[in-house]
Amino acid sequence: MSQKWKVYDIKEGKLKRKNIPCPRCGGGVFMAEHRDRRSCGGCGYTDWKK
């Protein structure tokens, strides 16, 4: 099974994205979830978790 299905959720018949969008790139690019950070594959923006 492809990993892209892990970032989506279906609730009440609507598709919802689990990851947050990148604040620099906008709504079309989503940030990857890591253990200690979130990072954007497009621009390289990193948000460190506390």
Domain boundaries, the chain: 3-48
Q: Is the pLDDT of residue 1 over 60?
A: no
Report d(CA 40, CA 34) in Å as an integer: 11
Between β-strands 8-11 and 14-17, what pairing exists: parallel, antiparallel or unpaired? Answer: antiparallel
pLDDT tens by residue, 12-44: 999 888 889 999 998 889 999 999 999 999 999
For the chain, where are the E strands, in sequence order?
8-11, 14-17, 21-22, 26-33, 37-40, 46-48
Structure tokens at 35: 């253990």
